[in-house]
Amino acid sequence: MRDVAIVSVAQSHHRRSAEELNEVEMIQPVIRAALDGVGASISDIDFTCSGSSDYLAGQAFSFVMTLDAVGAWPPIVESHVEMDGAWALYEAWLKIQTGAADTAFVYSYSKASPGDLPRVMSRMLDPYYAGPLWPDSVAYAGLQARAMLDAGVTTERQMAEVAHRNRESARTNPNAQVVGSPSVDELLAAPMLSDPLRVHDCPPISDGGVAVVLAAGDRAREWAERPAWIRGIDHRIDGHQIGARDLTTAPSVALAAQRAGVDGAFDVAEVHAPFSHQEQLVLDGLGVGNGVEVNPSGGALAANPMMAAGLIRLGEVATRIMDGSAGRGVAHATSGHLLQQNLVCVLEGGD
Amino acid sequence: MTTEDRRDRSISTLPDGLWTQPTPSVPVDLGDDPVRRQVVPAAMRYNYSPGLASTRFLRGLAEKRFLGERCPETGEVYIPPRGVSPVSGLPTTEQVEVGPKATITSFCVVHIGFGVNAPPTPFVSALFLPDGAAVSLYGTMGEVPHDEVRIGMRVEPVWVDDDQLTESMENIRYWRPIDEPDVPAEQLKGHM
């Protein structure tokens, strides 16, 4: 295995609607900031990979247009995933492992604001049985929350505590969209949205993006004083048909964590749990216990740009390693409905 | 499978026989009354934002003006602008009016028209390089026989009536020749 590190991270200030900007105008400053972070231009990058979704943009081949912000001329070696950017990072990491690249640039973004997000999300479902019923993504998450409550995996109070803690943590995150929270008792007094979910249990709808520079070995040491080395990375997928899953567990989180070498000894964990009840499932799957700081950024409950919120988790851990505030951390990203696909990455400082 | 089954369906206006399906390589038994099709109505609405640069361009079109934007590194003017130079990746902040006179950089004589807005065939679709711009706009030619259109031909846009102007490319009804000498192909290098 080659030693590969995250050496630069930039993200947007996430907000409900970047209404005045098109996607390339929104992501350009983020792309530039990540490259400027290591004093690199695109000609120093061997491989570029992005993550985005045409369904969110409402436009075919939308990612080709945002490539303008990379400055892809003369032509560059480039790829794209219709997934969260964490999977774009995985592809870039693999590319470096093959020896075909020493450096990589990864970015992902979305504007969820032009469409009706819960309806757009239903297009991830199978087109024959669930898709034609247009179930919205919040109601879908409610099915999982209900199953977890019934199984005693969580309580409504624990869910409110997760929402409260994340949004209070977001006070120190300049990029967060939802900052601060009423007390847990006040949250529990609020009306239901999709019973058993209240508004505070749901992520905000966000426009935003993130960009990351990867480099191998000496190039990483040259570009960063404290590179955030990727010590393990793996992703696993549970079944697509939610009726065939036990929604009160997340087996693919546990398997990915095991394969990525997660051992519980972390200073910080950033987990991608868009709905409050999901954080416990992810932490259980990761085997992260007390003593680990969870989601100091506020997580996806504080800002949830689709296609980017997972890569942002990797970026948040890497940033803390690069600035010396953490020595070792674990980041988790999810994709699909109800924690169906999961990626786990162990990041570490040192040589 | 009969010839009827293999014929392309209504998605294509191409002549019969094109784009037919090959006979399946394995036997397919769908029973006496197979489900051949499931109809799932689907529509999603988007409030699409053109962005800052495209808004400037579209506002210009409503005044019959072409507003490109300059790459701060190369000086090339891109149209329609999307806010970022595709070559340098830097924001374009300087607006530059180009055209409306233009030069044909490529064309195609269309004999089978697709879509509801296609003019009567045969017609000429073409790329028009507005004077001062680095890239071309797409459109159709009018007021000239199709076999007289050529690369390097000088043209101008024919706009809709003033009371029909909106923030839309449809403001240009078509392009027509003007009485100016052709631009030599040599001068169009890098813009075709």
Question: Scanning every residue of chain A, which has its alpha carbon at the shortest distance from the alpha carbon of B86?
Answer: A68
Domain ranges, ordered by start, for chain B:
50-98, 99-192
pLDDT digits (tens, 9 = 90+) for A161-212: 999 999 999 999 999 999 999 999 999 999 999 999 999 999 999 999 999 9
Note if the bond before B80 is cis, omega within 30 degrees.
yes
In B, minimum Cα distance to A119 occurs at: B44
**Model-level ipTM above the cut of 0.90:** no
Q: How far apart are CA A349 and CA A221, in angstroms?
A: 11
CB contact under 8 A, A21 and B50: no
For residue range A77-104, list pLDDT tens digits in order. 999 999 999 999 999 999 999 999 999 9
Alpha carbon distances (Å) from A343 to A203, A239, A270, B192: 19, 15, 12, 44
Q: Which residues of A touch B (CB under 8 A)?
A: 19-25, 28, 31-32, 42, 55, 58-59, 65, 67-73, 111, 113-116, 119-120, 123, 127-128, 131-132
Interface check B36 vs A, CB under 8 A: no
Q: How many whole angstroms separate alpha carbon B192 and alpha carbon B135?
A: 8
Which pLDDT score is estimated for B9?
Answer: 46
- Please provide residue A164's backbone torsions phi and psi, each rounded to the nearest 5 degrees: -65, -50
pLDDT at site B116: 65
Return the higher-pLDDT residue of B15 and B66.
B66
Identify all chain A residues contacting B38, using CB atoms and an 8 Å cutoff. Answer: 128, 132
- CA pair distance A304, A261, nearest whole angstrom: 27
Q: What is the residue-wise DSSP string for A213-238?
A: EEEEHHHHHHH-SS-EEEEEEEEEE-
pLDDT tens per residue across span B39-50 = 888 899 999 889
Selecting from B48, B82, B88 the residue whose C-beta is nearest the C-beta of A65 gives: B82
- Indicate yes or no: CB of B87 within 8 angstroms of CB of A73: yes
- The pLDDT, as a whole number, for residue A211 is 98
Residue B4 has pLDDT above 80, yes or no: no
CB contact under 8 A, A115 and B44: yes
Residues 92-151, chain B: which have Cβ within 8 Å of A? Answer: none
Nearest C-alpha of chain B: how many angstroms from A58?
A: 6
Is B171 part of the contact surface with chain A (CB cutoff 8 Å)? no
pLDDT for res B191: 83
Question: Is residue A50 a contact partner of residue A108, using CB atoms and an 8 Å limit?
Answer: yes
For residues B121-149, give the mean pLDDT.
Answer: 94
Write out chain A residues lying below 8 Å of B52, CB-based: 20-22, 25
Residue A350: predicted pLDDT: 85
Pick among A19, A23, A28 to test the B interface (most B CBs inside 10 A): A28
Q: Which residue has the higher pLDDT, B32 or A18?
A: A18
Tell me yes or no: is domain A4-115+205-223 CATH 3.40.50.2300: no
- CA–CA separation, A63 and A60 (whole Å): 8
- Give yes or no for residue B1 having a pLDDT over 80: no
pLDDT in tens, B152-176: 999 999 999 999 999 999 999 999 9
Structure confidence at residue B73 (pLDDT): 93
Residue B120 phi, psi dihedral angles, 5° rounding = -60, 140
Check B51 against A24: CB less than 8 A apart: yes
The structure's pTM equals 0.91
**C-alpha to C-alpha distance for B85 and B70, rounded to whole angstroms:** 8
Measured CA angle at A207 (ends A203, A211), to 5 deg: 105
Q: To the nearest whole number, what is the mean pLDDT of chain B? A: 86
State the nearest Cα–Cα gap between A128 and chain B, in angstroms: 8
Q: Which residues of chain A have pLDDT under 50?
A: none
Question: Hey, of B35, B40, B82, B88, which one would you mutate to test binding to chain A, going by the most A CBs within 10 A of its CB?
Answer: B82
With beta carbons less than 8 A apart as the criterion, state whether A59 and B50 touch: no
Q: Are B140 and B119 in contact (CB under 8 A)?
A: yes
Asked whether the beta carbons of residue A22 and residue B85 sit closer than 8 angstroms, the reply is no
Q: Is residue B26 pLDDT above 60, yes or no?
A: yes
Nearest residue, CB atoms, A68 vs list B47, B54, B86: B86
Can you give the residue ranges of every domain in chain A? Answer: 4-115+205-223
| Partner A contacted by B75 (CB < 8 A) | no
Question: Pick from A19, A111, A120: which is nearest to B44 by CB?
Answer: A120
Tell me if residue A301 falls in helix, strand or coil. Answer: helix
Q: Residue B89: its chain A contacts at CB < 8 A? A: 28, 31-32, 42, 68-72
For the stretch B56-72, pLDDT in tens is: 999 999 999 999 999 99
Q: Please answer yes or no on whether B44 and A131 come within 8 Å at the CB atom.
A: no
b (16+ CB within 10 A) / e for A2-21: ebbbbbbbbbbebbeebeeb
Q: What is the pLDDT of residue B7?
A: 44
Torsion angles phi and psi, residue B182, rounded to 5: -60, 150
